[in-house]
Every structure is written in C-alpha cells, then in structure tokens.
C-alpha cells in the first residue's frame, strides 16, 4: 500500500559543535546541571509537556533519565553519563558538568579538534596515573578498623542531595545507618569466596527521619498478625521451611509432563490430600515457621496454624531470596529431602506507624539486614530511598579500592595545579597548542569546583596545597584570612602565611604539597575514589567522542 504521507528526507548536520542551536542547548543543559550540584544545589521539578507526574529531584540518575531531547548529539552525552551512573551510582553531575565544560573550553580555545582530543587524552592519563599512585596528595586511605571515614563518605553522598530535605543531624543519622547496614552485609567469618549480603529497605511515610533504624535480619509485613502463634515469639531457635512453588493446589505448579486422569477422579481433593500430607510431614519434623513465595491453600494454612506453626505466604521473590540466605535453601517441589530445613533465631513484632511487621532474626551470622526509612512525605521519602541505595553502592566500592578522594572541590583544584606543574610537549601538536589545551583542561576542572558555590562568592585556591576555598561575596580581600576558615574538604585551615589566588586566573606554577599527617583537623567531605576516577575518564572520553563527531544524520520520519 502506498504511503499516506510522503517520506521526508533525513536531516544531516555537519560539525554539530559549530551549530548555534546545539551549542545553546548544551549551554542550557550545563546551567541546569550546575544549579543542582553539591549540598547547596537547587531542586528541579520535571514535567513532560504531554502530561505525567511531576518529578522533584537533584539526583543525576533521576534528572537525566527524566530529561529528553530530540537532538541526538545531546542524547549521546546524556546516555554516556547515565551509563556511568548505572555502574557506579555516584559522581553523575560531576561527570556531566566536566564533559560539557571541556567541550566549551575546546571551542573557546580555537584549537583544532584533533589537537584538543590528543591533549585531553594525554592529560587524562596523567591524572589517572597520579590518582592511582602512592604519592597522590588528594587521596585518603580508609581504615576498616574505624567507621569515621565511612560515615564521612556516606554523609558526603547524602548531604549532596538537597531533594532529601534533611537537617544536618538527620543527614548524620542516615549516614550512620547506611554504614551500619553496609557493615552488616559484609560477611565476617567466610573462609571461601565472600558473598556480600543484602539490605532491604522499608519506607514509612509521615514519621520523623530520626525514627529510621537498621535491624539485622528480615522484616516482613504481617497483615494477619493475629494468626501468629505466640509460642514462636519466645527467644528460641525455630525450624523453618521455605517453598518457592505455589501451594494453592494449581495443576500448573505440578511441573512438566503429561497428567493422566480417570473419568471419576476428583483432582481437587487429591491435590488437597497431598498438601495435607505435606503439612503433616512438616509438623512431624518439628517445623515452627512455614514460608511460601506464592499462595498457600486456605485448608493447609488452617491445619498448620492449628498445629502451632507460623505461616507466611505471598512473600515474593526478592524477600524469598533474602530469607533463603538468612535461614537456608528453599524448595521447588512438594517433597522435602533430609536436611532441607533452615533455622531462625526467633520472631518478634515491630510496629512502625500503621505498619505491623514480623522481625525474623538470624540464628547465626547473617549478611541480611533491613533498613526502616522514615520521612515526612512521599516525595522526600522516594528521593531518600534512592540516595541510600546509592550510598550503599558507594560504600561497597571501598571493598575494591579502600580509599577516597578529598571532596568539596579540593581534588579538582589539586589536579589542576598538578597538571600545570607538569608542562610538556606532545607529538602531533606544538608546545603552544599543548599549553593552550592544558590550560583549558585545568580551567574545566576548576570550573567544576567553582560550581559547588551557589551564593555568588569568590572561588579561590591556595598556593601550597592547591585546595578549594570560597570567599563570601561581601568580604574584602584585606580580611580574607579571617573569613576563609577551612578549605572545601575541611582538612586545611586558613592562616596568615598562606597565599591564595582566584580560580581560572593565571598563577605561578607549583607542585601541590600533600597535607601533613600531623594536622588536628578531620576531613569533612570525601568523594568515592572509584566513582570519581571513572567519572573523570567518562567525562574526558565522552568529550573527545563529541569533538570527533563530524556529521549527525537524523531520520525525521
């Protein structure tokens, strides 16, 4: 059949970074992301122009997923950043802002694009080698014998998400809970291959944030709490059996194969008889807790409860996997082989607002825990849940690389000073071109640090350690020492002998000195080492990819 509407030709855009419309959209995206960046960032409300729910967030994963563009060039950058966030759960805004700033600096410098790509690639290698080296001056080693650095790392992630609307004591409380949950999911006495546990999150709306708590073991909803056998609430070990198959008596759950039925056979009563035989067996074997992932036949439930067995049905696959890890393996069939039973320590009842929950305590060491998250309304609670999941992932990354980077913009300014001090020349470009490209790279790093300030203050760096400082807009330079306090990460204190310079200005090259270990100050802001290193790599590589794009061919049909 012929087309109703004639097919339109594809649209070809050459040199997209020279296109005014695309550059304006990139600039707008950069301003949007900068306004969300850091603890003082602004919230964003996103609403699709054809309808749908309004999303309030400042988290990069939610923000970039909700944003859509008809421009493939912008979607290329957005998708690259989202891929980084899906893998590392942190530093999404850092990655996006740095990438967009590198593109902006490359355009302003007037360098040939292939030269910008060569210089960026070389400087990325320089940064990566320095950050992974033993003498890195902006890296902090984490000691698993102390929880202080881990709480600081968690607090840095949580406090940087203003959509959670947390006070400082509330953010600190959630940070401690996140670290507690993380440590509970790390097995202690595992001789073989260590398998990390799992933290399950239960949200309770309308209660204070400080009511949030972490419990070892599993908490499950118990709407039929009046069916719970009181004998099983005592502090004694309980024999447990778990089923993943439906026990409702459905023929489809009997497995594959052919079923032969006699004409006068009553299948329902025969299946029920088999279920009751199963019930008699578990009662005879001394089972106290009977759990099924799916539905349990009402007659079987009544029989088991009459025999003082606590019954839980419709648990779901997610909770079932966690309970099997806590209590023992679960069964797929009606037949119960020897040694198939698990153990739990005890059952207790917990009340959170209108929610009545059954707390299943592990009988020994278990890497399963439950976090109860409370907040004032649903929007804040949803954002807090996302942030806590990201924090858990960031903490787990420390098991791979037990270190962190100084936060608050100090890593960015420190790297910029380090690069400026490593002047060199490259094949494929002149010394002048290299220095011009390196200056653009350093200014991009410093611009990311400066984006943390949302009060129109002045951004500075000291000429000793190259840390980041913010000077309030209403303070004159004569009183600078008394107004600066400490640097962005909190590890360096202002003193009269220190010298500062404004960011994105020319200053004498120097090798940034590491902070003395004898300092009495404690670091206040930390960034995930693994996430930030990956974010730096993704930002530079995505910027290089964008610089290398010559044509965009878009199908408009």
Contacts of residue 524, Cβ cutoff 8 Å, sequence gap at least 6 = 152, 408, 486, 489, 490, 491
pLDDT at 195: 78
Residue 107 pLDDT greater than 90, yes or no: yes
CATH number where 83 lies: 1.10.560.10
Please say whether the beta carbons of 472 and 457 come within 8 A: yes
pLDDT at 240: 87
Same domain, 15 and 80: yes
pLDDT bin (cut points 50, 70, 90) of residue 452 is very high
Residue 512 pLDDT greater than 60, yes or no: yes
Give a yes or no: residue 543 inside a domain. Answer: yes
Domain that holds residue 286: 218-254+265-365
Same domain, 248 and 361: yes
Residue 231 pLDDT greater than 70, yes or no: no
pLDDT bin (cut points 50, 70, 90) of residue 267 is confident
Q: Which two tokens stand for residue 441?
A: 């790279």
Give a yes or no: residue 499 inside a domain. Answer: yes
DSSP 498-526: --EEETTS------PPPPPTT-S-----E
Residue 180 pLDDT greater than 70, yes or no: yes
Task: State the Rg of the chain over Cα.
Answer: 29
The CA-atom distances, in angstroms, between 280 and each of 145, 273, 283, 293, 329 are 50, 10, 5, 20, 21
Query: In which order are the strands placed within the sheet that holds 368-375?
Result: 198-205, 368-375, 213-216
Give a yes or no: residue 375 inside a domain. Answer: no
- Express as a percent the part of the chain with pLDDT over 70: 87
The DSSP bridge partners found for residue 356 are 351
Same domain, 472 and 341: no
Please provide residue 146's backbone torsions phi and psi, each rounded to the nearest 5 degrees. Answer: -130, 140
Higher-scoring residue by pLDDT: 45, 252: 45
Same domain, 422 and 343: no
Q: Which of the listed residues 335, 365, 395 is the one where a domain comes to its end?
A: 365
253 alpha-carbon distance from chain centroid: 38
The torsion of the CA quartet 384, 388, 389, 393, rounded to 10 degrees, works out to 150
- Express as a percent the part of the chain with pLDDT over 90: 45
pLDDT digits over 57-79, tens only? 878 888 888 887 888 899 999 99
Residue 481 pLDDT greater than 60, yes or no: yes
pLDDT bin (cut points 50, 70, 90) of residue 402 is very high
The CA-atom distances, in angstroms, between 360 and each of 192, 340, 547 are 26, 19, 56
Cα–Cα distance between 117 and 126 in angstroms, integer?
Answer: 14
Same domain, 335 and 470: no
Higher-scoring residue by pLDDT: 448, 332: 448
Cα–Cα distance between 489 and 155 in angstroms, integer?
Answer: 13
Q: Taking all residues of the chain, what is their mean pLDDT, rounded to a whole number? A: 86
Higher-scoring residue by pLDDT: 505, 412: 412
Higher-scoring residue by pLDDT: 90, 44: 90
pLDDT digits over 321-368, tens only? 888 888 866 665 555 665 678 888 888 888 887 788 888 888 877 788
Same domain, 43 and 120: yes
Residue 47 pLDDT greater than 50, yes or no: yes
* Among 253, 217, 344, CA closest to 291: 344
Give a yes or no: residue 184 inside a domain. Answer: no
* Among 468, 395, 486, 500, CA closest to 179: 395
Domain count for the chain, please give it: 2
Lowest mean pLDDT among 233-242, 416-425, 434-443: 233-242
As a whole number, mean pLDDT of residues 97-118 equals 94
Same domain, 424 and 480: yes
Same domain, 106 and 44: yes
Model-level pTM? 0.87
pLDDT at 170: 96
CATH number where 352 lies: 3.50.7.10
pLDDT at 258: 66
Residue 430 pLDDT greater than 50, yes or no: yes
Give a yes or no: residue 202 inside a domain. Answer: no
Cα–Cα distance between 180 and 186 in angstroms, integer?
Answer: 10
Lowest mean pLDDT among 283-287, 353-357, 401-405, 486-490: 353-357
pLDDT digits over 270-291, tens only? 888 888 988 898 898 888 888 8
As a whole number, mean pLDDT of residues 234-250 equals 79
Give a yes or no: residue 2 inside a domain. Answer: no
Same domain, 420 and 522: yes
Higher-scoring residue by pLDDT: 44, 413: 413
Residue 2 pLDDT greater than 70, yes or no: no
pLDDT bin (cut points 50, 70, 90) of residue 542 is very high
The CA-atom distances, in angstroms, between 332 and each of 246, 276, 322 are 9, 17, 16
pLDDT at 201: 93
Q: Which of the listed residues 365, 389, 415 is the one where a domain comes to its end?
A: 365
pLDDT bin (cut points 50, 70, 90) of residue 374 is very high
Q: Which of the listed residues 365, 395, 418 is the one where a domain comes to its end?
A: 365
Query: In which order are the strands placed within the sheet that holds 500-502?
Result: 468-471, 458-462, 500-502
451 alpha-carbon distance from chain centroid: 21
pLDDT at 50: 65
Same domain, 114 and 230: no
pLDDT at 397: 94
Give a yes or no: residue 114 inside a domain. Answer: yes
Q: Are strands 403-406 and 139-141 parallel, antiparallel or unpaired?
A: antiparallel
Same domain, 117 and 243: no
Burial 198-225 (b: 16+ CB within 10 A, else e): bbbebbbbebebeebebbbbbbbebeee
As a whole number, mean pLDDT of residues 421-446 equals 87
Give a yes or no: residue 43 inside a domain. Answer: yes
pLDDT at 226: 46
pLDDT bin (cut points 50, 70, 90) of residue 444 is very high
Q: Are strands 403-406 and 289-292 parallel, antiparallel or unpaired?
A: unpaired
Same domain, 361 and 410: no
């Amino acid at each position: 059949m012929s087309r109703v509407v004639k097919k339109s030709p594809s649209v070809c855009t050459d040199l997209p970074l020279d296109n005014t419309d695309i550059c304006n959209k990139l600039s707008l995206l950069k301003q949007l992301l900068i306004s969300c960046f850091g603890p003082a960032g602004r919230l964003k409300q996103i609403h699709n122009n054809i309808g749908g729910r309004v999303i309030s967030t400042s988290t990069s994963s939610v923000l970039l997923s909700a944003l859509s563009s008809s421009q493939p060039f912008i979607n290329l950058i957005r998708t690259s950043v989202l891929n980084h966030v899906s893998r590392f759960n942190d530093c999404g805004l850092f990655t996006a802002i740095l990438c967009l700033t590198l593109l902006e600096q490359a355009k302003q410098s007037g360098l040939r694009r292939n030269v910008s790509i060569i210089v960026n690639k070389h400087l990325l290698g320089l940064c990566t080698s320095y950050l992974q080296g033993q003498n890195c001056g902006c890296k902090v080693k984490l000691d698993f014998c102390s929880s202080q650095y881990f709480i600081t790392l968690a607090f840095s992630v949580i406090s940087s998400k203003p959509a959670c609307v947390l006070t400082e004591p509330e953010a600190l409380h959630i940070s401690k809970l996140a670290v507690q949950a993380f440590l509970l999911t790390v097995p202690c006495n595992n001789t073989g291959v260590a398998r990390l546990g799992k933290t399950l999150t239960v949200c309770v709306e309308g209660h204070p944030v400080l009511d949030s708590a972490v419990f070892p073991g599993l908490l499950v909803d118990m709407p039929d709490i009046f069916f719970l056998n009181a004998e099983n609430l005592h502090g004694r070990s309980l024999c447990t059996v778990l089923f993943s198959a439906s026990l409702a008596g459905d023929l489809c759950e009997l497995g594959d194969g052919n079923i032969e039925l006699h004409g006068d056979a009553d299948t329902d009563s025969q299946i029920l008889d088999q279920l009751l035989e199963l019930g008699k067996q578990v009662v005879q074997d001394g089972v106290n807790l009977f759990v099924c992932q799916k539905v349990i036949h009402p007659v079987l439930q009544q029989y088991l409860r009459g025999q003082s067995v606590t019954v839980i049905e419709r648990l779901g696959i997610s909770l079932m996997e966690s309970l099997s890890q806590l209590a023992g393996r679960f069964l797929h069939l009606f037949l119960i082989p020897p040694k198939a039973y698990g153990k739990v320590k005890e059952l207790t009842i917990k009340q959170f607002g209108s929610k009545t929950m059954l707390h299943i305590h592990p009988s020994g060491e278990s890497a399963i825990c439950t976090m109860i998250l409370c907040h004032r309304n649903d929007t804040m609670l949803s954002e807090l849940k996302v942030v806590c999941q990201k924090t858990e992932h960031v903490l787990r990354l420390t098991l791979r690389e037990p270190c962190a980077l100084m936060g608050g913009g100090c890593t960015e300014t420190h790297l910029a000073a380090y690069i400026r001090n490593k002047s060199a020349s490259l094949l494929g470009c002149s010394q002048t071109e290299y220095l011009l490209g390196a200056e653009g790279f350093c200014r991009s790093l410093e611009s990311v640090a400066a984006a943390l300030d949302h009060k129109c203050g002045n951004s500075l760096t000291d000429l000793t350690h190259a840390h980041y400082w913010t000077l309030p807009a209403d303070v004159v330079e004569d009183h600078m020492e008394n107004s600066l306090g400490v640097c962005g990460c909190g590890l360096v204190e202002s003193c009269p002998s220190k010298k500062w310079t404004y960011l994105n200005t020319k200053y004498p090259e120097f090798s940034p000195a590491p902070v003395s270990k004898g300092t009495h100050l404690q670091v206040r802001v930390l960034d995930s080492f693994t996430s930030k290193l990956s974010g730096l790599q993704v930002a530079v590589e995505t910027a290089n990819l964008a610089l290398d794009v010559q044509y965009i061919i878009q199908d408009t049909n």
